[in-house]
Structure 1
Amino acid sequence: MSGLSVIFAPLLPWPVIAALAGAALVLVALALWRGLPGWALRGLAVLVLLAALAQPALQTAETEPLSDIVLLLDDRSSSQALADRPAQTDAALARIAAELDGLGGVETRRVSVADGEGNAGTEIGAALAEALAAEPRARIAGAIVISDGQAHDPALLPEMPAPLHLLLTGRDNDWDRRLVIRTAPAFGIIGEETQIRLRVEDQGAVPPELAGRAGLEISIDGGDPKRYEVNVGRELELPLVLKHGGQNVVQFTLDPSEGELTERNNAAVVQINGVRDRLRVLLVSGEPHAGERTWRNLLKSDAAVDLVHFTILRPPEKQDGTPVSELSLIAFPTQELFIDKIDEFDLIIFDRYGARGILPSAYFANIRSYIERGGAVLISAGPEFATVQSLSRTALEDLMPARPTGRVLSEAFLPRPTELGLRHPVTAGLDGAPPAAGQPEAEGVPHWGRWLRQIEVENPTGEVVMEGAGNTPLLVLSRQGEGRVALLASDHAWLWDRGFEGGGPQLELLRRIAHWSMKEPELEEEALYAEIEPGSLSVTLVRRSMAPSVPPVALTHPDGTREEIALAETAPGRFTARWQAPEAGLYRLRDGDLERVFALGPAAPREFEETLASAATLQAAITASGGAVTRLEDGIPRLRLIRAGRASAGNGWIGLTPRGASATVDLRVAPLLPGWAWLLMAVALTLAAWLLEGRTRRR
């Protein structure tokens, strides 16, 4: 095809030419007013000169037609893998692609859409916008999307220059049941009831025999599940009691139902951090001493600690004749504390306490039972621990982590972590820790200050994590029954608080001892957990152990497949492995008796939140483009070419709009007249005007 057009390449700017034309028009009007007979010829001469300045030219363009482009998008997301949707998609894709190839003059651009990264769902809008931006809009004859219609980015759908058609997969009789968590707390108080609100929803054509009721199981940290029968379609509040601190993974699982589209949305995971409402601590100081305030300051600095502190200022043997009515001291409520309300305390601390008859032997027997039932006792020993008043000579004797020899070592010594202590979470990683006994010390590196008194103990039955003078046990930790006992064989930890010889991490050490005694999860010697990188599927698997090596951990995927992952020691007592999860869901770690459950993203990915095929999210864009929605269940539609503005769909067919686009392959430009011709015409017209006016004057 060829086309002819006139173009201009002016010698002067158009404003200048316009100004000259205005001046010429004034002169021609003046000539007309004066009655000059050659005014018309003069005007034509000026017009010829102005045309010469504009330089008109003839442009000849050779064009050839371009083929139309049709965007063919097939949805391959996870929801499209349900039931027989893959077969529907494949059949429609093959048929439509074959018809497009047979139309002639049509090019097909294929686009496949998979699950979006980071649980983004099906990104049909972004895929269609990207495909449209890569092609000339003038050649787009239409777009055909084969999908279940569950697009998760409808706001990104572009404005189409041609019809957008949706070929909808799925069946009219599809149905699905899903579990939706309405509200769940991020934190829960240990031992107290917390509420989780959820809802079981049915979608689609639910069989009458399955409607109304559903079985629900709830498990915490992969433990034995509890079963409930719940009503479908009603919002429910379920009570939950957390039994330990730290992260609690709560899994909800619906019983599968025959015929539902998928079971992937039958589960939900909630992660709740268990916290203690108030840590109740009983501190009993045997007599005032320099380190007593250290314990008090430590416990009072924590707003979560409810401290009860008694100091024995008047032991029974002190008889000075002062009438009781004149004493301002508070009587020690021994029965209330050690009999009636002992189980209300999370930790009992005996700070330089001596058995001097204040507590009857039956009370110590009750303290022993308290420990065996899961209570915690911390003993900060002073010189009285080496005498007949020692707590080791009471009913607590069998629970003592070590026995006193009767010697008090009054000499300067440097507290050191033992080889075991370098791995134990109570003493591992303390700032400025000197090396263990027998290990070389780094020159020029400051370390802890010395203590000046230690009670010698022997035959430790617990874990010796620190040692002092003569490499004797200084800090011994022991598990007794369900409870724990910690023994610090010195009352000089307060020297660190005063900065003696540089001081040391006194508050951190005492805090760790107290929290280990109260079974805080971050201080357990044997632990297995996962550190999840926010916003990704990257996980660091962590195994904390006192053993020199650990076996590979068993990891169970959401689909039930298992794999073993080897861990490497990255710090004393800490073994880790970096791992990339293949998908979101609930994973289970196991190493012997240790088991841990962790969740990556939602238990049910976004693709399975809405599983029924629907055109609702795409309908606005389809209507705006003049396209239509066709269910593949009713058959694969035929293709037709239609003119713009006509109906784009009918019974069993959908239409594409040919655009008639073309491309210029050759372009030629030739001047309308040569320059001398314009000049000759202007001279001839001017001369004719002059002759006409001269003849008129002679007459």
Structure 2
Amino acid sequence: MIQVILFDPLVPWTVIGGLSALSLISIGAALWRGLSGWALRGFAALVLIAALSGPVYQVENRAPLSDIVLVVSDDTASNQLSDRPAQMDAARADLANQLADRPNTQTRWITLDDGEADTGSQLMGAISEALAEEPRSRIAGIIALSDGQIHDVQDAPDLPAPLHLLATGKNTDWDRRLIVRNAPGFAIIGEPVTLTLRIEDQGAAPDNSALAPLEISVNGAAPQRFSLPIGADIDLPLTLPHGGRNVIQFTVPKEQGELTDRNNTALVQINGVRDRLRVLLVSGEPHPGSRTWRNLLKSDSAVDLVHFTILRPPEKQDGVPVDELSLIAFPTRELFLEKIDDFDLIIFDRYQRRGILPAIYLDNVSNYVTKGGAVLVAAGPDFATADSIYRSPLSLVLPARPTARVIEDPYQPVVTDLGQRHPVTADLGDAATWGRWLRQIEVDQPQGHTLMSGLDDRPLLVLNRVGEGRVALLASDHAWLWSRGYEGGGPQLELLRRLAHWMMKEPELEEQALWAEAVGQRMRILRRTLDDSVGQVTVTHPDGSTVKLDLTETGPGQWETQFEGPEIGLYRLTEGDQSAVIGLGPAAPREFEETIATRDILQPVIKPTRGGLLRLQDGIPVLRNTRTGRPASGRGWIGLTPRNAYETLSVVQSQLLPPWLVLLLASFFITVGWIREGRR
């Protein structure tokens, strides 16, 4: 219970001050004139001025409130290394006992877990949230049990009480980590990209070696082993083996005594892209389809196109002297003997044998395919003649044989059942709306995959693999009708684009493929196949354990499933003869960038509060009470500031000078003073 006298003036204090000054002047004048009642008149003025100041007698009934101590327990990944969890358990138990013995104290226990999206230890965020839920006037102290590796120290709030760090770890801790810099998201196939590697020792590392082993594995292959100097930046040139995603894993074997090997591995995922696609287009004669091929290939800025159209075949004799012709001679030897391997794709558009390309040149094209090249034949009526390109060494690689019949009846191209599952022809749109073609070259004995059929289910588009290369045959020269919008047109550009990219082995158009797409620790596993069913996919974890998952069909030839990876690292996927690798989590987790316990990061936050920075390996400190503004830590102890907070239960106020008493006293002093002065 608190008893106080308060003032609630009836008029402003300036008025009271003016009246007090006027009364003082009047009493001084009376004293100077020798009036005998000056003292009584002064008492009367004092009573009146006191009444105007409104004195109130207040009785306040208070209930004391307990102090609050915040204890933040850092359970992030870096504080789970070595014997740090045991240090944390012992510290929590000892603090719980000391705080329980401290009178008038409540404890708020806060657990700090790993931040989402690799944000690291957000200690300041946890303290800010706790302070927002508690009255700041009751906070007696904040104690953090942590390794000191904090990643949001720049967001430190204004602290109402001392902050103390009880740091885990030991002076003998050391760790080795691998750092990869300059890792691009994309790189050009066949051209080296330079990565910067650094092997770094932290803490009390042993001084017994200047070199450390490094293992490099590309796309899950057997690793290659090298030795690199410790503490130096090393530039590593790397050439991507194929297009699409390439996963490169760098690993430094764990040394005895280091804290963890979680930062000894770095995963780098780089998408391989082609710089330029070199295409040779040979048109046997001018026709409307030639412009279609040229527009398609020239519309892509990444395509280098060499296009030759045979305008004057050798058998053409019109009497014009050769030296007067402005035609360029067909550089057959240069293209088909010297530079054939420079091209990614060769297209024969309505080409027939006219003696321009000798059999030895076409035999060289056949060898080019078996060694990994790609040839596309867009067949016209010439393909059915005796001069057909099939009647050459190319017959060894072409996927179908002409029957010498040319069909001139209208028909609507149809995607076959197999074509519905093949990435070249899948999802091309509603075939019922496609326009008709007016010519088809009849072929038989198709090899490989027939993706489209024409009149009476005759093969129209046939794809095949020969050796390491690929060949395709389009048994019609009327695909250009779609680009002209004939009878509604059709997906001509998309079909030819996919066809050309499949032949150039673009990964997204492989008919047999297994891959995964990762978002955080979740991966979406996808399987594409031409078969009617697939088996289970086997997922191999970074620690070598495996799990088998069933795939669900989501469309023709499309299967997928979802998987949540329990840890960061490289996962291997296998299904049948297909395999893939994918890395989950960040290439370098933030929690393991720095693993040695430190007190330096939090020192700028703790110093203004006069808190303590102590190591748990030196013992658990004793709790003491300290006054505000005084040092709150010392050797073996940390301080808490008693807040003496309270809750007001009731307030009773009463007038110190009732009106009747004021009137009586003022009248008495004035009357007595007047009588005394009158008798004098």
Give the TM bin, normalised by the shorter chain.
over 0.9
Cα displacement string for residues 520-579 of structure 1 (whole angstroms, at most 9, x for unaligned residues) = 01111111222234xx43432211111222222222233333222222222222222234
Q: Which residue number in structure 2 is paired with residue 442 of structure 1?
A: none
**Does the 8 A contact of 2:525 with 2:561 survive in 1?**
yes
Q: Which residue number in structure 1 is paired with residue 243 of structure 2?
A: 245
1:315 pairs, out of 283, 300, 313, with: 313
User: Aligned partners of 1:556, 1:688: CA distance in 2, in Å?
Assistant: 109
1:338 pairs, out of 316, 336, 339, with: 336
Percent of aligned pairs with the same amino acid: 56
2:435 aligned with 1:452: no
Q: Secondary structure at the match of 2:501?
A: helix
Cα displacement string for residues 189-234 of structure 1 (whole angstroms, at most 9, x for unaligned residues) = 111211111111011222222x311111112221222221111111
**Does the 8 A contact of 1:69 with 1:139 survive in 2?**
yes
User: Aligned partners of 2:45, 2:492: CA distance in 1, in Å?
Assistant: 105
Q: Secondary structure at the match of 2:516?
A: strand
Q: Which residue number in structure 2 is paired with residue 215 of structure 1?
A: 213
Figure out how many residues of one structure are paired with residues of the other and give that number. Answer: 677
Q: Secondary structure at the match of 1:392?
A: coil
**Does the 8 A contact of 2:23 with 2:45 survive in 1?**
no
Amino acid at match of 2:518: I
Q: Which residue number in structure 2 is paired with residue 531 of structure 1?
A: 517
Q: Which residue number in structure 2 is paired with residue 164 of structure 1?
A: 163
Structure 1 residue 26, shift from structure 2 partner: 5.7
Structure 1 residue 641, shift from structure 2 partner: 3.0
2:623 pairs, out of 633, 636, 639, with: 639
**Does the 8 A contact of 2:535 with 2:576 survive in 1?**
no
**Does the 8 A contact of 2:568 with 2:585 survive in 1?**
yes
Q: Secondary structure at the match of 2:129?
A: helix
1:624 pairs, out of 593, 598, 608, with: 608
Q: Which residue number in structure 2 is paired with residue 118 of structure 1?
A: 117
2:431 pairs, out of 423, 430, 433, with: 433
Amino acid at match of 1:617: I
Structure 1 residue 502, shift from structure 2 partner: 1.3
**Does the 8 A contact of 1:402 with 1:462 survive in 2?**
no
Alignment of 1:62-211 (within 5 A): 62-209=61-208, 211=209
2:244 aligned with 1:279: no
User: Aligned partners of 1:683, 1:471: CA distance in 2, in Å?
Assistant: 128
1:360 pairs, out of 341, 345, 358, with: 358
**Does the 8 A contact of 1:355 with 1:390 survive in 2?**
yes
Structure 1 residue 32, shift from structure 2 partner: 7.4
User: Aligned partners of 2:49, 2:27: CA distance in 1, in Å?
Assistant: 19
Q: Which residue number in structure 2 is paired with residue 556 of structure 1?
A: 540
Alignment of 1:667-678 (within 5 A): 667-678=651-662
User: Aligned partners of 2:231, 2:453: CA distance in 1, in Å?
Assistant: 63
**Does the 8 A contact of 1:415 with 1:451 survive in 2?**
yes
Q: Secondary structure at the match of 1:172?
A: coil
**Does the 8 A contact of 2:610 with 2:630 survive in 1?**
no
Q: Are residues 328 and 653 of structure 1, via their aligned partners in 2, closer, same or farther at CA, if it must alter by over 3 Å?
A: same
Q: Which residue number in structure 1 is paired with residue 459 of structure 2?
A: 473
Deviates more, 1:673-682 or 1:512-521: 673-682
Cα displacement string for residues 11-55 of structure 1 (whole angstroms, at most 9, x for unaligned residues) = 6xx54x744764786698589779796787677656655654554
Superposition RMSD on alpha carbons, in Å? Answer: 2.5
**Does the 8 A contact of 1:421 with 1:465 survive in 2?**
yes
Deviates more, 1:99-108 or 1:421-430: 99-108
Q: Which residue number in structure 1 is paired with residue 468 of structure 2?
A: 482
TM-score w.r.t. the length of structure 2 is 0.94
**Does the 8 A contact of 1:140 with 1:659 survive in 2?**
yes
User: Aligned partners of 2:245, 2:230: CA distance in 1, in Å?
Assistant: 30
Deviates more, 1:99-108 or 1:382-391: 99-108
Deviates more, 1:645-654 or 1:539-548: 645-654
2:580 aligned with 1:596: yes
User: Aligned partners of 1:23, 1:672: CA distance in 2, in Å?
Assistant: 21
**Does the 8 A contact of 2:19 with 2:49 survive in 1?**
no
Structure 1 residue 9, shift from structure 2 partner: 4.6
**Does the 8 A contact of 1:283 with 1:308 survive in 2?**
yes
**Does the 8 A contact of 1:71 with 1:111 survive in 2?**
yes
User: Aligned partners of 2:66, 2:575: CA distance in 1, in Å?
Assistant: 64
Q: Are residues 552 and 23 of structure 1, via their aligned partners in 2, closer, same or farther at CA, if it must alter by over 3 Å?
A: same
Structure 1, gaps ≥5 residues long: 435-446
Structure 1 residue 431, shift from structure 2 partner: 3.0
**Does the 8 A contact of 1:585 with 1:605 survive in 2?**
no
Deviates more, 1:649-658 or 1:501-510: 649-658
Q: Are residues 654 and 33 of structure 1, via their aligned partners in 2, closer, same or farther at CA, if it must alter by over 3 Å?
A: closer
User: Aligned partners of 2:402, 2:562: CA distance in 1, in Å?
Assistant: 46
2:550 pairs, out of 549, 566, 573, with: 566
1:587 pairs, out of 550, 568, 571, with: 571
Amino acid at match of 2:286: P
User: Aligned partners of 2:100, 2:248: CA distance in 1, in Å?
Assistant: 54
**Does the 8 A contact of 1:6 with 1:58 survive in 2?**
yes
Q: Are residues 651 and 21 of structure 1, via their aligned partners in 2, closer, same or farther at CA, if it must alter by over 3 Å?
A: closer
User: Aligned partners of 2:131, 2:576: CA distance in 1, in Å?
Assistant: 56
Q: Which residue number in structure 2 is paired with residue 256 of structure 1?
A: 254
Structure 2, gaps ≥5 residues long: none
2:480 pairs, out of 494, 502, 508, with: 494
User: Aligned partners of 1:74, 1:112: CA distance in 2, in Å?
Assistant: 5
Q: Which residue number in structure 2 is paired with residue 348 of structure 1?
A: 346
Cα displacement string for residues 388-441 of structure 1 (whole angstroms, at most 9, x for unaligned residues) = 12122111113221111211111211112111111111111113333xxxxxxx
Q: Secondary structure at the match of 2:300?
A: coil
Alignment of 1:675-694 (within 5 A): 675-685=659-669, 687-688=671-672
User: Aligned partners of 1:54, 1:645: CA distance in 2, in Å?
Assistant: 37
**Does the 8 A contact of 1:266 with 1:604 survive in 2?**
no
Q: Are residues 239 and 138 of structure 1, via their aligned partners in 2, closer, same or farther at CA, if it must alter by over 3 Å?
A: same
Q: Secondary structure at the match of 2:217?
A: strand
Deviates more, 1:574-583 or 1:82-91: 574-583
Cα displacement string for residues 240-267 of structure 1 (whole angstroms, at most 9, x for unaligned residues) = 1112112211111112211111111011
**Does the 8 A contact of 1:180 with 1:198 survive in 2?**
yes
User: Aligned partners of 1:670, 1:642: CA distance in 2, in Å?
Assistant: 38
2:233 pairs, out of 226, 235, 244, with: 235
Q: Which residue number in structure 1 is paired with residue 409 of structure 2?
A: 411
Amino acid at match of 1:215: P
User: Aligned partners of 1:559, 1:692: CA distance in 2, in Å?
Assistant: 110
User: Aligned partners of 1:626, 1:559: CA distance in 2, in Å?
Assistant: 46
2:404 aligned with 1:420: no
Q: Are residues 41 and 576 of structure 1, via their aligned partners in 2, closer, same or farther at CA, if it must alter by over 3 Å?
A: farther
Q: Secondary structure at the match of 2:263?
A: helix
Q: Which residue number in structure 2 is paired with residue 389 of structure 1?
A: 387
Q: Which residue number in structure 2 is paired with residue 439 of structure 1?
A: none
2:605 aligned with 1:605: no
User: Aligned partners of 1:608, 1:21: CA distance in 2, in Å?
Assistant: 71
**Does the 8 A contact of 1:585 with 1:604 survive in 2?**
no
Q: Secondary structure at the match of 1:317?
A: coil
Q: Are residues 502 and 149 of structure 1, via their aligned partners in 2, closer, same or farther at CA, if it must alter by over 3 Å?
A: same
2:266 aligned with 1:268: yes
